[in-house]
Amino acid sequence: MFRARPTVSSGGSFACVWLSLRLLQTMEAKRKNEGMSKKSEAEWKDLLTPEQFEILRRKGTERPFTGQYYQTDTSGRYLCAGCSQELFTSEEKFDSGCGWPSFYDVKESNAIRTEEDMSFFMRRVEVLCSSCDGHLGHVFEDGPAPTGLRYCINSAAITLDPDEVDP
């Protein structure tokens, strides 16, 4: 993303630079979203549970220590609850003690995208599904090796596709 630091040489020029940067950011966001799933809010409401809709489409968060996959150790693949894109595997899952399912890496780097999140007077990095643009959670730089990352993901934003067990 193009980022520039506007300088304040005169009151009017700062506003002009700021508006130009906002326009560039909006254009870049639209370009990124061109290939994404284009469902209406009504279609998403029909497809998702109320909790999934609140988290995936409205960027909500489930309460810590309550999610379906928080303590799951079942082997398998974790898919986006909105579009079924593969995001994580159980091999990257670990218990961080934070109250949400945590992963130290994604299955494929292009499965997610990130955005700066300045909500709640904090600076965080939001994690979104690259296919449907659904909000998954946040990523922090306090995870284990080899990445040092902790993807803190809402259980309602993912579904587990368990590995088949040989009889």
Note the pLDDT tens digit of each residue in 63-85: 999 999 999 999 999 999 999 99
What's domain 41-162's architecture? Beta Complex (2.170)
The answer to whether residues 56 and 82 touch, using CB atoms and an 8 Å cutoff, is yes
Local confidence band at 37 (pLDDT 50, 70, 90 cut-offs)? low
Q: Which of 16-20, 78-82, 107-111 has the lowest mean pLDDT?
A: 16-20
| Mean pLDDT, the chain, whole residue set | 82
Q: pTM of this prediction? A: 0.75
Instruction: Give me the pLDDT at residue 166, please.
Output: 60
For residue 71, the 8-state DSSP code is T
pLDDT at 6 over 50: no
Residue 151's contacts (CB-CB under 8 Å, 6 or more residues apart) are 88, 102, 103, 104, 105, 106, 127, 136, 137, 138, 139, 143
Q: Where are the domains of the chain?
A: 41-162
Q: Which of 80, 129, 132, 152 is catalytic?
A: 152
**Virtual torsion, Cα 75, 70, 154, 159, nearest 10 deg:** 30
In the structure encoding, which two tokens stand for residue 146, read together? Answer: 């080899």
Instruction: Give me the pLDDT at residue 10, please.
Output: 46
d(CA 47, CA 25): 30
The side-by-side arrangement of strands in the sheet containing 76-80 is 86-89, 76-80, 158-162
Instruction: Give me the pLDDT at residue 111, please.
Output: 95
Asked about 98 being catalytic, the answer comes back as no
